[in-house]
Amino acid sequence: MEMENENESVSVSENENERHFKSMQQIQHAFHEEHPLVLVAEQSNIEGLKAYCDGCGELLSAPCFTCIHCNYNLHKQCAEAPLSLPNHPLHPQHSYVGFFLRQRPYPSDHKVYGCELCKEKCNMFFYQCYHLGCWFSIDIKCAKLSSSYKFNQPSKHDIHQHPLTFIESPTSTIDVPKRFNCSWCHETLIDAIYFCCDCPFIIHKKCLDELPTEIDHLTHRLHPLILNRSDSDYLCNPCQKKHSGPFYSCSLCHFNINVECAWPRSTDSFICDACGTQGNYISYTCSTCCITLHKKYISLPRIIKFSRHDHYIFHKYFLQTRELTRQDCKICFKEVRLERGSYSCGKQGCNYIVHVNCVLENDKLYKVIKEEKQCEEFYEKSMQSSIIHVIEVNEAREATKIEHFSHQHCLVLAYKMEEKIDRKCDGCMLPISNIFYYCSECPFFLHKTCVELPRIKQHWFRQSNATLNFDSFKTCDFCDQYCSGFFYHVGYWDMCLRCAKVADIIECEGHQHFLFFDFKGSEKFCNGCGNRCSPGAFKCGKCKFALDFGCLTLPHSALHKIDEHMLNLTYHDDKEQSYCDICEQERDPSRWYYSCSICDTSAHLKLPSYYYRHNHDLKFYRKAEGYLECSFCGKLCQEEILKCEKPACNYIIHNECRWH
Please check the confidence at residue 19 and state whether its pLDDT lies above 60.
no
Q: Could you tell me if 336 and 362 lie in one domain? A: yes
277 domain residue, yes or no: no
CA dist 467 and 457 (Å) reads 7
Residue 303 has pLDDT above 50, yes or no: yes
User: pTM for this one?
Assistant: 0.52
Tell me the percentage of the chain whose pLDDT exceeds 70.
77
- The more confidently predicted of residues 528 and 615 is 528
Is residue 498 over pLDDT 90?
Answer: no
Mean per-residue pLDDT, 197-211:
73
Please give the single-letter amino acid code of residue 93.
Q
Domain count, the chain: 6
Same domain, 324 and 386: no
**Residues 128-137, mean pLDDT to the nearest whole number:** 79
pLDDT tens per residue across span 352-385: 899 998 898 888 788 888 766 655 554 444 567 8
Residue 387 CA to residue 196 CA, distance in Å, equals 51
* 387 shares its domain with 442: yes
Determine, yes or no, domain membership for 532: no
Domain-ending residue, one of 347, 381, 415 = 381
| C-alpha span between 248 and 250 (Å, rounded) | 7
The per-residue pLDDT for 541 is 79
More confident residue, 93 or 233: 233
76 and 88 both lie in a single domain: no
| Range of the structural domain that residue 312 is part of | 300-381
Tell whether 478 is covered by a domain.
yes
Instruction: Band the pLDDT of 202: cuts 50, 70, 90.
Output: confident
C-alpha 369/C-alpha 303 separation (Å) is: 5
Q: How would you class 566 by CB atoms within 10 Å of its CB: exposed for 0-12, middle for 13-18, buried for 19 or more?
A: middle
How deeply is 281 buried, as exposed, middle or buried, from its count of CB atoms within 10 A (0-12, 13-18, 19+)?
buried
Indicate the DSSP class of residue 328: B
Is the domain of 480 the same as that of 564? no
Is pLDDT of 200 > 70?
no
* Structural domain includes residue 187: no
Cβ proximity of 532 and 525 under 8 Å: yes
Whether residue 264 is contained in a domain is answered as no
User: Is 421 part of a structural domain of the chain?
Assistant: yes
User: Looking at residue 129, what is its pLDDT?
Assistant: 85
Please give the residue that has the higher pLDDT: either 77 or 382: 77
Average pLDDT over residues 445-472: 84
Q: 128 and 32, same structural domain?
A: no
Higher pLDDT, 143 or 110: 143
**Mean pLDDT, residues 320-349:** 80
The H-or-E segment that residue 579 falls in is: strand 578-579
Q: For 148-175, how does the pLDDT look when each residue is reduced to its tens digit (9 = 90+)?
A: 555 566 666 656 667 787 777 644 334 4
Among 203-212, 319-328, 330-339, 517-526, which stretch is predicted with the lowest mean pLDDT? 319-328
Q: Residue 268 pLDDT more than 50?
A: yes
Average pLDDT estimate for 33-62: 82
CB 66 within 8 A of CB 53: no
7 found inside a domain? no
Considering 608, 629, 649, which residue would you say is the last residue of a domain? 608
- Which of 10-24, 125-139, 326-340 comes out lowest in average pLDDT? 10-24
- What would the pLDDT profile of 401-443 be if each residue is shown by its tens digit? 999 988 889 999 998 777 666 678 888 877 887 889 999 888 8
Q: What is the pLDDT of residue 373?
A: 61
pLDDT for 107 equals 44
pLDDT at residue 122, as a whole number: 61
Strands 411-416 and 434-439: antiparallel
In this structure, the answer to whether residues 419 and 324 fall within a common structural domain is no
| CA–CA distance, 323 with 398 (Å, rounded to integer) | 44
Q: Are residues 492 and 418 in the same domain?
A: yes
The CATH code of the domain that includes 308 is 3.30.60
Average pLDDT, the chain: 78
CA angle 556/557/562 to nearest 5° reads: 150
Which pLDDT score, from 0 to 100, does residue 610 have? 42
Which domain-ending residue is among 130, 146, 162? 146
Residues 493 and 581 in one domain: no
pLDDT at position 604: 86
Q: Is the pLDDT of residue 393 over 70?
A: yes
Q: Within a domain: residue 518? A: no
Is the predicted pLDDT of residue 343 greater than 90, yes or no? yes
Q: Are residues 319 and 368 in the same domain?
A: yes
In this structure, the answer to whether residues 565 and 470 fall within a common structural domain is no
Q: Is the pLDDT of residue 121 over 70?
A: no
Model pLDDT for residues 460-495, shown as the tens digit of each residue: 888 777 888 887 677 888 888 877 788 998 877 888
Q: How many CB atoms lie within 10 A of CB 629?
A: 12
Pick the range with the lowest mean pLDDT from 1-10, 350-359, 612-621. 1-10
